Amino acid sequence: MCTYVSRLLLQVIVCIYAAAILTNAVRFVEYEVGRWPRRSRLDRNVTVVGCYFDFIDFFSDRIELYYAVHFWFRVVFVHVVPCLVLVLLNARLPTP
């Protein structure tokens, strides 16, 4: 019994970690970063190199849809579902 419960618990923990990584994986590829050479404000003969970041074309074309889907996915699966599971598990606790 203990071996079964510990294996099940380990599988649940691995699934939670995998789900957490997958829900945030898209955040790592939504931006493109590049060099941005600009003329210095102090000395007009000097060029300084900064960096910029902007959404890749796939996201910039659908930015409102992307943020709406991402926001509601997080609301439901990161906040509401775990809260409901916690409430249900607490309701099943034996009363003294």
Which tens digits make up the pLDDT trace of 55-80? 888 888 888 998 899 899 889 988 99
* pLDDT at site 61: 87
* pLDDT at site 29: 86
Q: Does residue 1 have a pLDDT over 60?
A: no
Beta bridge partners of 70: none
Does residue 4 belong to any structural domain of this protein? no
Which residue do the tokens 């890749």 mark? 56
Does residue 19 belong to any structural domain of this protein? no
Does residue 22 belong to any structural domain of this protein? no
Does residue 90 belong to any structural domain of this protein? yes
- The pLDDT confidence band at residue 20, using thresholds 50, 70 and 90, is confident
The CA distance from 50 to 38, in Å, is 7
Boundaries of domain holding 92: 62-96
The structure's pTM equals 0.60
Task: Give me the long-range contacts of 19-28 (CB less than 8 A, separation at least 24).
Answer: 19/77, 23/73, 23/74, 23/77, 23/78, 26/70
